[in-house]
Structure 1
Amino acid sequence: MPTTATISLQETDGPRVGARGWAALVVLMLPVLLVSVDNTVLSFALPEISTALSPTGVQQLWIIDVYPLVLAGLLVTMGTLGDRFGRRRMLLIGATGFALVSALAAFAPTAGLLIAARALLGLFGAMLMPSTLSLLRSVFRNREQRRLAIAVWAAAFSAGSALGPIVGGLLLEHFAWGAVFLVAVPVLIPLLILAPLLVPESRDPNPGRIDPLSILTSMVTTVPVVYAIKEFAVEGVTPLVVILLVLGVGMGFLFVRRQLRAEIPMLDMALFRRGMFTGAILVNLLSVIALVGFLYYVSQHLQLVLGLKPIDAGLALIPGMGMMIVAGLAVVPVARRVRPEILVPSALVFSLAGYLVVAFTTHAHGVAPLIVAFVLLGTGIGAAETVSNELILAAAPAEKAGAASAVSETAYELGAVLGTTILGGIITAFYRSSLIIPDGVPAAAADRARETLAGAFSAAEGLPASVAHALQQAAADAFGTGVTVTSLIGGVLVIGAAVIAALTLGRRLGS
């Protein structure tokens, strides 16, 4: 969900590039495709990872969440480091680290080590993303060429997300779950070879100040809050949950106060005084929460409850991913004629309909309702985010375009974290509270079944046929209860995004 497609509108014209410039664009698309594929491919590997490593419910959420959490916390920092020390250099460091850690993650023997590897991937991924866009802007100085290049850069995200289920399905059909990590190595090796030859180095002559305290407070704001939500989903209200929430909120207050008082802040808080900017950020945040939460549970539902092979589950999501791309492109001419405070809420009606389809159908209805639901969800989110992404930078002053981009990318990654944390946590809580262990299930198998849906299906494999079937059915019913409740909550999030859009996206710039 890129957020910088309109940044070229705020820059001056320049000389046109030849074949070398377009070759550089192809090279810079490699990490973009990789990161976007990684966002969806891991959800499809999660059932096999759960079976192989037997993570707890909280660990299962952390396997997904720790990568975007670290990535979001370090985007602004790594962008500042790239400005100061060289954007191509930061890109190459990030690519090298990402490839090496991906190879280690593929062979992680425990859930804890896999979580640690995912955290390191977040660190190196944060070096990749700001660098690709900054280098793209330095390569393409001509406005028309730059618009086309950034449009390709933006489309790479959607294309990568659409390819993720297919790539994941094909890999998991023939290889172990670690293959979804190893795919990074052949993608990044050409980048490491060709980028020094085709992509020129660039720096900001007046880079922003590196503020270690701001970096620390921003990280200590996000991590405790997310962890508290995860713990609440499993354990309910505990002293640890309260302590973590107080710590996170307190650090958030200190971070904001430091940015307001700093002469050159890492994050210019004045941007949030602009109603259109803040509204568009919130629309994106809520939309991504709804989308990622949907992908989290639908991948498990398709493979475990409905029994589809990974490749078939991936194919089932392709229509929705494709519609997200189509809607994002098709809404551009419409946006010239329809005001955003009308267009965005109208688009989100489709997403609301998608969640209602899931909420009021059960696994007995098969794959068709989920395909329809994702097509509707993708239509609404694809159109709404294209409009809101343009408004984020349009609402910011030209000199704040970089800060606006960092904020919106951070909001997207935070939405990815919260989508899994909030909606995935709610599913986990309802699954555990609703699961009724059938008679005849041994205590050890029952304990494993209570952890996760994948744990229940794995535990059933060693039981007598009748008991195994009863346990699988009980787990599917309990998971279905969580999906119904979560879908309704997802619908509420979409309604909230629509209301925010209607109230804020029509406000004048600077209001």
Structure 2
Amino acid sequence: MTTERITPQTPATGRSTQPFSARRRWTALAVLVLAVLLVAVDATVLFLAIPFISESLHPSATQLLWIGDSYSFVLAGLLVSMGSLSDRIGRRRLLLIGTAAFGAASVLAAYAPGAGWLIAARALLGVAGATIMPSTLSLIRNLFPDERERAKAIGIWGAAATAGAAAGPLLGGLVLEHFWWGSVFLINIPLVILLLVLGRQLLPESRDPHAGVWDLPSVGLSLVGVIGVVYAVKEAAVGAAGQPAVIAAGVLGVLCLTWFVRRQLRLPVPLLDVRLFADRRFTAAALGSLIALIGLAGVIFFLSQYFQLVRGYSPLRAGLADMPAFAGSVAGGLIAAWLARRCGQRAAFAGGLLAMGLGLGALGWVHADTSYLLIAVVFLVTGVAEGAVYALSTTMVLNSAPKEKAGAAGAVSETAYELGTALGIALVGSVLAAVYRSGLVLPAGVTGPAAADARDSLGGAVQTAGTLPPATGDALRHSAREAFTHGMNLAAVLSGALLIGAAALVWALLRGRRRNAAGADTAGADTAPEADAAPETAADPLPDAAGELTKSAA
């Protein structure tokens, strides 16, 4: 490990603060990994608890949808705003505030007496999560001024995110074997306490000294715009596109986002500098990660139902079945920097998207009796590619943005991730649902509410089958499982094609790039100048954490 020491300077005086050593940088990164784990675990831990929540709280179908979606909706809608806020009030400060709020919202969710309470608590978790993720990325951007070191750090950060997502179903399965559904939210509490203690002691503070005022109208426009558009897309995906409320939400969302962009172009200090998208590397990274998650998220989400309801796995076994994909993602995140140096960011990023597409497409041939070993191999390959793509896209976004705008730039990366996840579940789910309903053959005697429940989802069909005579129930289960598997196959093939298209798009956007002697990508003659080509400035101080604590105590 290098022993160089970074000596930040305050923009006001230009005097050097206490040097920030390599050891301190990597120790601070370990704390940021805890923060990523906190948010990533919560994003997936709920998946296996849905059947238990349905049994306990008796939510309606709409309420059940919002229990799953309120977190990602609010998180996606506030990421850019909170990333910009962290640039203004301090990244460490906002991260610690968000961590405390995350812990409080987790307790509220764990002891929710009804579906409405749980939906509100999940929304509060989304608000808190939106303050944490951009802060972690912007702190990394300022902790590691060297581009190669930063790429390694982001690889570790991305590996932690996928490890947390892997731990969610596994921990959820373990807890649900012994405790009530609310305990899956209490998993967060130990991480919250540890992060609050270590974060205050080990993380440096940094901010943009010229950030200006936080523009509240822009915050409202971005939140309403993102939520309106995502809600309209999700409702349209389930056949409600013609409803007045859905049309109104979509129109309102588009208008708000358009107004948001126009306002950012006029503001002297915008909430999000939309001119960053003029850099093709920034645009390619954001679009690539968005499309990747649209294709990946829906397939992975419905594979959890495949394992439990088609293959008959327990929640814990279903969580373990997903592990090759998540283990591969961790490995992919760790080797992303090496791949970029060896192949160049263009080839590594586009190649990762292509490998993801081929892996997802291969799931189009999975059936109820397919050997799990074959599924595990596909999961592993797809996971490695996804981890590399995630780390590479994040690195490209941060390297394309000025250092003082790291919070807002990191928020763009995370927004693409969250929007891709939400849209992927909606769009892939619509394909699967349509094929499922058209392929389901109801046995004689299954009519009325029972038939409606069976057509609604595979879970509804399995539950309905348990109330029928054995022969009729077995016939319904077999038909429902076959119809669901066929829908999942088609969705996987379409998702794979989408990822292959994303690979071609990224390859085109990053054309004309070449690698320098250090292995980093540089712009060719036909490429826009790189945002990070200018030398690092001292616009963002990195004071020693002990010094910050001393000043706070004073």
- The answer as to whether partners of 1:165 and 1:318 remain within 8 angstroms in 2 is no
Percent sequence identity is 46
2:238 match: secondary structure? helix
Letter in 1 for 2:101: G
1:305 to 301, 306, 310: 310
Counterpart CA distance in 2 for 1:438 and 1:109 is: 38
Deviation, structure 1 residue 321:
1.3
Range that drifts further, 406-415 or 73-82: 73-82
Instruction: Indicate the residue corresponding to 2:384 in structure 1.
Output: 379
In structure 1, the partner of 2:42 is: 38
Query: In the alignment, is residue 456 of structure 1 matched against residue 461 of structure 2?
Result: yes
Q: Which residue does 1:179 correspond to in 2?
A: 183
Equivalent of 2:420 in 415, 440, 456? 415
**Which position in structure 1 is the counterpart of 2:268?**
263
AA paired with 1:248?
G
Superposed counterparts of 1:186-205, under 5 Å: 186-199=190-203, 201-205=205-209
Cross-structure match for 1:215: 219
Q: Secondary structure at the match of 2:270?
A: coil
Match of 1:358 among 355, 363, 375: 363
Q: How does 1:261-410 map to 2 (within 5 A)?
A: 261-410=266-415
2:443 to 438, 443, 460: 438
Amino acid at match of 2:183: A
The residue type equivalent to 2:507 in the other structure is A
Q: Distance in 2 between matches of 1:135 and 1:387?
A: 17
Partner of 1:75: 79
Aligned residue in 2 for 1:485: 490
Find out whether 1:104 has 2:104 as its counterpart.
no
Could you tell me whether the CA contact under 8 Å between 2:134 and 2:414 is conserved in 1? no
Give the superposition deviation at 1:273. 1.3
Paired with 1:401 and 1:55, the residues of 2 have a C-alpha distance of 40
Deviation at 1:344, TM superposition (A): 2.9
Match of 2:528 in 1: 510
Preserved contact between residue 87 and residue 405 of structure 2 (Cα < 8 Å): no
8 A Cα contact 1:50 1:454, kept in partner? no
Match of 1:63 in 2: 67
CA distance in structure 2 between the aligned counterparts of 1:144 and 1:282, rounded to whole angstroms: 23
* CA apart distance, 1:505: 1.7
Q: 1:185–1:402: structure 2 CA closer, same or farther, 3 Å change rule?
A: closer
Q: Distance in 1 between matches of 2:247 and 2:188?
A: 39
Contact 2:73–2:422 under 8 Å retained in 1: yes
Which of the numbers 160, 166, 170 marks the counterpart of 2:170?
Answer: 166
Q: 1:477 to 1:29 in 2, by over 3 A?
A: same
Question: Cα 1:48–1:367, aligned 2, differ >3 Å: closer, same or farther?
Answer: farther
Answer whether contact 2:57 2:114 (CA < 8 A) is retained.
yes
TM-score of the two chains, using structure 2 as the length reference = 0.82
State the Cα distance separating 1:386 from its structure 2 match: 3.1
2:242 maps to which residue? 238
Mark the CA change 1:437 to 1:107 in structure 2 (over 3 Å): closer, same or farther.
farther
1:166-225 CA deviation, whole Å, 9 max, x = no partner? 212212222232222111122212333444444455544333421121111112212122
- 1:345-392 CA deviation, whole Å, 9 max, x = no partner? 333332222222211222232534432332232132223333333222
Contact 2:453 2:460 in 1 (8 A): yes
TM-score, normalised via structure 1 length: 0.88
1:112 CA drift (Å): 3.7
Aligned residues: 503
Q: CA RMSD in A?
A: 3.1
Aligned counterparts of 1:327 and 1:20: Cα–Cα separation in 2:
25
Q: Is residue 350–residue 506 contact of structure 2 (8 Å, CA) maintained in 1?
A: yes
Cα distance between partner residues in 2 of 1:403 and 1:456: 45
Q: In terms of mean alpha carbon deviation, does 357-366 or 216-225 score higher?
A: 357-366
Unaligned runs of 5+ in 1: 1-7
Which one has the largest radius of gyration?
A: 2
Distance in 2 between the 1:415 and 1:397 partners? 25
- Which amino acid is 1:117 matched to? A
CA contact (8 A) 1:352 1:491 kept: yes
Instruction: Sort the Cα spacing of 1:301 and 1:201 in 2 relative to 1 into closer, same or farther, 3 A.
Output: same
CA contact (8 A) 1:280 1:505 kept: no
Inter-partner Cα distance in structure 2 for 1:348 and 1:207:
35
CA distance in 2, matches of 1:369, 1:181: 33
Once the two structures are TM-superposed, the CA of residue 140 in structure 1 deviates from its matched residue by: 7.2
- What does residue 125 of structure 2 align with? 121
Match of 2:19 among 15, 31, 41: 15
Q: For residue 187 of structure 1, what is the amino acid of its counterpart?
A: L
Matched-pair contact (CA < 8 Å) for 1:169–1:310: yes
| Bigger share in helix | 1
Where 2:342 maps in the other structure, the secondary structure is coil
Q: Specify the code of the residue in structure 2 equivalent to 1:75.
A: L
Structure 2 vs 1, CA of residues 431 and 226 (structure 1 numbering), >3 Å: closer, same or farther? Answer: farther
**Gap change, CA 1:110 and 1:490, over 3 Å in 2:** farther
Deviation at 1:441, TM superposition (A): 3.3
Structure 1 residue 59: Cα displacement = 4.1
> How far apart are the structure 1 equivalents of 2:113 and 2:310?
26
CA distance 1:217–1:294, shift in 2 (3 Å) = same
* Amino acid of the structure 2 residue aligned with 1:510: A
Distance, in Å, in 2 between the alignment partners of 1:92 and 1:431 is: 45
Q: From 425, 433, 438, give the equivalent of 1:428.
A: 433
Q: Is the 8 A contact 2:91 2:207 kept in 1?
A: yes
Structure 1's 69 and 40: CA in aligned 2 closer, same or farther, altered over 3 A? same
How many Å apart are 1:494 and its aligned residue?
0.3
**Cα distance in structure 1, aligned partners of 2:219 and 2:271:** 9
Aligned to 1:238, the other structure's residue is in SS state: coil
